[in-house]
């Protein structure tokens, strides 16, 4: 059977807040599956280095999902459990990471990226990161911020365009 024609994407536009960021928006943290709590603070920046104040970030890993809007400074923040490694295929492990989707006015399709951890030893050998040109890998690795509190804090910038442009992925079905 020939495949059905897929539905194209369109931008999320500027007016999504009341719908996508409503208070009871189905977020979850399956706390017994993940590790300890972590906090992530980030910013979304455009090609002029200006804040993107109307983006929405979706973050997920095996044990949590969150949807966060950026503020007037382009900043977003969330707390979650520390993710565990995930299999690529049976026997091959990936380093712990957060999967991230970015939606905004002006983005005709959402962008997909990942946040890895600089203080996680397996980050260095992650099979997906190794497919990224070495010079661009740092854009995917969150920095541990010095912090007095007990919850580890990571900082992660999402640069849509220009100097330090974040690596965005196109995930393709693996060859069988």
Partner 1 sequence: MITTIGEIVRGDAAVFPPYLYEAYRSTLRRAPRLPLVEVPLTASELTRPRLDLSHVTAEDADLTRNAGTGGEALGQRIIVTGRVMDEGGTPVPGALLEVWQANAAGRYIHKRDDWPGPLDPNFLGIGRCLTTDAGEYRFLTVRPGAYPWGNHENAWRPAHIHFSVLAPSWSQRLVTQMYFPDDPLLELDPILNAVPDAARSRLVAAYAHDVTQPHWALGWRWDIVLAGPGATAFEAREQSAA
Q: What is the CA radius of gyration of the chain?
A: 17
Looking at beta carbons only, is 142 or 160 nearer to partner 1?
Answer: 160
Pair of tokens at residue 142: 């969150």
Among 39, 51, 77, 110, binds partner 1 (CB under 8 A): 110
89-108 residues in contact with partner 1 (CB under 8 A) are 89-90, 94, 97, 99, 101, 103-108
Residue 79: which of 158, 154, 159 has the closest Cα? Answer: 154
Looking at beta carbons only, is 27 or 71 nearer to partner 1?
Answer: 27
- Say if residues 79 and 118 touch (Cβ distance below 8 Å): no
Among 75, 77, 112, 157, binds partner 1 (CB under 8 A): 112
**Shortest gap between Cβ of 149 and partner 1 (angstroms)?**
26
Please choose, out of 35-43, 60-68, 116-124, 149-157, the segment that lies near partner 1 by the rule CB under 8 A: 60-68
- Say if residues 56 and 105 touch (Cβ distance below 8 Å): no
121-160 residues in contact with partner 1 (CB under 8 A) are 128, 131-133, 136, 160
51 phi and psi angles, rounded to 5 deg: -65, 145
Q: How far is the C-alpha of 163 from the C-alpha of 166, rounded, in Å?
A: 9
Among 32, 36, 87, 149, binds partner 1 (CB under 8 A): 87
Please choose, out of 35-43, 69-77, 109-117, 141-149, the segment that lies near partner 1 by the rule CB under 8 A: 109-117
Those residues with Cβ within 8 angstroms of residue 99's Cβ, 6 or more apart along the chain or in another chain: 59, 60, 61, 112, 114
Among 40, 68, 95, 111, binds partner 1 (CB under 8 A): 111
């Amino acid at each position: 059977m020939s495949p059905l024609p897929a539905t194209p994407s369109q931008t999320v536009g500027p007016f999504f807040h009341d719908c996508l960021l409503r208070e009871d928006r189905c977020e979850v943290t399956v706390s017994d599956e993940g590790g300890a709590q972590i906090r992530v603070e980030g910013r979304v920046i455009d090609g002029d280095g200006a804040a993107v104040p109307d983006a929405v970030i979706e973050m997920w890993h095996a044990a949590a999902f969150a949807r966060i809007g950026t503020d007037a400074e382009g900043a977003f923040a969330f707390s979650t459990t520390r993710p565990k490694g995930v299999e690529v295929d049976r026997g091959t492990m990936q380093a712990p990471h957060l999967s991230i989707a970015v939606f905004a006015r002006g983005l005709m399709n959402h962008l997909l990226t990942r946040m890895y951890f600089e203080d996680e030893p397996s980050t260095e050998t992650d099979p997906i990161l190794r497919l990224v040109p070495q010079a661009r890998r740092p854009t995917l690795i969150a920095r541990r911020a010095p912090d007095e509190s007990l919850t580890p804090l990571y900082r992660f910038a999402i640069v849509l365009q220009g100097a330090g442009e974040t690596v965005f992925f196109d995930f393709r079905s693996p060859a069988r």
